[in-house]
Amino acid sequence: MTQAAFPDLRLRRTRRTGWSRAMVRETHLSPANLIWPLFVCDGAGAEEPIASLPGVSRWSADLLVERAKEAVVAGIPCLALFPYTQADRRSADGGEALNPDNLMCRATAAIKQALGDDIGILTDVALDPYTSHGQDGLIDGAGYVLNDETVEVLVGQALNQARAGADIIAPSDMMDGRVGAIRAALEAEGFGHVQIISYAAKYASAFYGPFRDAVGSRGLLKGDKKTYQMDPANSEEALREVAQDLAEGADSVMVKPGLPYLDIIRAVKDNFAVPVYAYQVSGEYAMIEAAAAAGAGDRDALVLETLLAFRRAGASGVLSYHALHAARLLGA
């Protein structure tokens, strides 16, 4: 890189005014870069605040339609849905995931009926919201999560969601081979238009605690998820995971969590040049809210700066519980 020397080169020149900073800005953030995760609960007219996620609630399907309308007005293109399954509907085999009248399917159908293609619906494919043991798949007698047997159920779950109107299937389970199996099943059933965003690099992270409260699995989880979610120490392995999922038919990939793994986002973007999404997970959201509540930082500034960091690292979009707030700030 050849550059002039000071004082011929003064890097502060272009920072002097707002219009000049705007002209040379390298990274841009807009509502179109945001996906809003929402939690579904039973009932009608129901809102259930989540204590460990201040400002976030579970919503019954009818009220989720109202949230979807707010998202459309704010310019958010897609919602990600996660169910809070009642304890009496949980089982060792996660059978409620295959119920065509489950919370996920009812909410998906309600939003699509109300708004059609005005907004996209991304549905989570994994068994942890449905199992009595809190694991993302079926387990054997020793508590080990079974890969191939789980994939069979995940295929049925994905088809169930596609029939309800899901636009994007997002396998978050981290089983080997599930993307290829789901892609083949979608094609065979006439859902070739349905996208797959694979949680390709999902780490066994300490940042998921509030999410487990939100879907009701924290107190149920037996053991940990280290035998299928990735070791936080590994980066090259993430590239192998991404390569496998793309080869099996994923349209785009996701890195989860977000800020602690910006290096992984950049590596995926540089190596594969495909759409890559980041999930700013529940623990990250909770830390921002705690910092703002303690007066340690300005909430709006913290939200926008962290979201911009994902974009700068190479993310095409970000799943964030701050999505609606951020979209409104960006549109102001």
Contact between 230 and 205 under an 8 Å Cβ cutoff? The reply is no
Binding residues for Mg(2+): 241
Binding residues: 241
- Name the amino acid, one letter, at 6: F
Alpha helices (H) in the chain, listed in sequence order: 18-24, 61-74, 103-115, 147-164, 178-188, 209-215, 236-247, 262-272, 282-293, 299-313, 323-331
Q: Identify the active-site residue in 69, 222, 226, 256.
A: 256
Peptide bond into 257 cis (omega under 30): yes
Q: Cβ of 269: how many Cβ atoms within 10 Å?
A: 18
| 126/296 Cα distance (integer angstroms) | 36
Which residue do the tokens 């219009």 mark?
Answer: 19
Identified catalytic residue from 112, 202, 225, 269: 202
Phi/psi for 195 (5° steps) reads -80, 160
Q: In angstroms, rounded to a whole number, what is the distance separating the alpha carbons of residues 116 and 193?
A: 15
Tokens 């340690």: give the residue. Answer: 296
Backbone angles phi, psi at 248, to 5 degrees: -90, -5
Is position 202 annotated as part of the catalytic site? Answer: yes
d(C-alpha 246, C-alpha 9), whole Å: 44
Which sequence positions are flagged as catalytic? 202, 256
